[in-house]
């Protein structure tokens, strides 16, 4: 069942979202050749601890509980990569997905980053992945049903020569990380049957996963890390979005977006 949020509840979710924004600002400042994915994860865990926020991913149930605060996926890893002693190298792309619960409400966001200079294919993949997410957010104001947005998103990715992963989707979010509805970034018979209206009060996590090659993926022996089957790179971009009477609001804005609006400085515990 889809639960619509009040203005007050959306404002509470924004605080959680802004802490996730701060986590990504921290990660982006640290990414460079030679750093390990485990060091990035530890920095985000320390940040959430400092602000008394509950990490959404650590301990998440599965064949084995997820062991980290962030999912960190490198190159051909699509999603759910487990941080550890892997050292990032010049030319890698790294996708970082993290979320937290603050005062009972959740925020969730993923972003893909270049490590130093990347090749032309990876650069285009990064650009198309980010643009596809922003296209979807903009389309919310023009569309009545999610399937209309998903169609535009999938068409854009395809026209640029890439593919949309269909094994994983976005989701509703609120007091729990995963709520109704499911939010696919592609369209097929099943997703049309589960289509939903875009109404004020709806809060969703939109998260296209874009592969340079085939859309087909597999899971490694660690039970979590998802890989492209052809070994080509993948990117993952996600924002938590609230739909309001005035259009969509990004609850997990990029630090650069806040700076453009004259909002600077680190996350503050008090609203």
- The model's pLDDT over 101-129, given as tens digits with 9 standing for 90+, comes to 999 999 999 999 999 999 999 999 999 99
Q: If pLDDT is split at 50, 70 and 90, which confidence band does 247 have? A: very high
- The model's pLDDT over 129-186, given as tens digits with 9 standing for 90+, comes to 999 999 999 999 999 999 999 999 999 999 999 999 999 999 999 999 999 999 999 9
pLDDT for 190 beyond 90: no
Nearby residues of 132 by Cβ (< 8 Å), 6 or more positions away: 153, 156, 157, 185, 208, 210, 237
pLDDT for the residue numbered 262: 64
* pTM above threshold 0.85: yes
* Burial classification of residue 234, based on how many CB atoms lie within 10 Å of its CB (0-12 exposed, 13-18 middle, 19 or more buried): buried
Cβ proximity of 92 and 10 under 8 Å: no
pLDDT for the residue numbered 155: 97
- Alpha carbons within 13 A on the beta-carbon side of 174: 18
pLDDT for the residue numbered 263: 61
Q: Identify which of 62, 27, 31, 32 has the alpha carbon closest to the alpha carbon of residue 45.
A: 27
Q: For 7-260, which CATH class?
A: alpha beta
Q: If pLDDT is split at 50, 70 and 90, which confidence band does 264 have? A: low
pLDDT for the residue numbered 31: 98
| Average pLDDT of the segment spanning 41-69 | 97
Give strand pairing partners of 183.
170
Domain ranges of the chain: 7-260
**For the ranges 69-73, 228-232, 246-250, 266-270, which has the lowest average pLDDT?**
266-270
pLDDT for 192 beyond 90: no
């Amino acid at each position: 069942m889809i639960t619509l949020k009040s203005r007050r509840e959306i404002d509470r979710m924004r605080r959680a979202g802004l802490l996730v924004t701060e986590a990504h600002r921290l990660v982006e400042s640290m990414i460079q050749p030679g750093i390990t994915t485990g060091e990035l994860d530890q920095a985000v865990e320390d940040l959430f601890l400092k602000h008394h926020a509950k990490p959404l991913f650590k301990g998440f149930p599965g064949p084995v509980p997820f062991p980290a605060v962030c999912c960190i996926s490198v190159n051909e890893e699509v999603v759910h990569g487990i941080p550890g002693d892997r050292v990032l190298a010049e030319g890698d792309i790294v996708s970082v997905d993290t979320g937290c619960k603050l005062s009972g409400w959740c925020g969730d966001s993923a972003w893909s980053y270049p490590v130093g200079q990347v090749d032309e294919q990876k650069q285009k993949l990064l650009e198309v992945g980010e643009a596809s997410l922003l296209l979807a957010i903009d389309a919310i104001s023009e569309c009545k049903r999610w399937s209309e947005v998903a169609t535009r998103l999938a068409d854009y990715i395809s026209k640029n020569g890439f593919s949309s992963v269909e094994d994983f989707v976005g989701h509703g979010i609120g007091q729990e990380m995963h709520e109704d509805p499911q939010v696919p970034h592609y369209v097929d018979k099943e997703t049309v049957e589960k289509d939903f209206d875009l109404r004020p009060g709806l809060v969703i996590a939109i998260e296209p996963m874009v592969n340079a090659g085939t859309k087909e993926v597999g899971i490694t022996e660690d039970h979590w890390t998802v890989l492209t089957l052809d070994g080509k790179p993948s990117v993952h971009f996600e924002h938590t979005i609230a739909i309001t009477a005035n259009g969509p609001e990004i609850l997990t804005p990029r630090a650069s977006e806040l700076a453009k609006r004259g909002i600077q400085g680190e996350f503050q515990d008090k609203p």
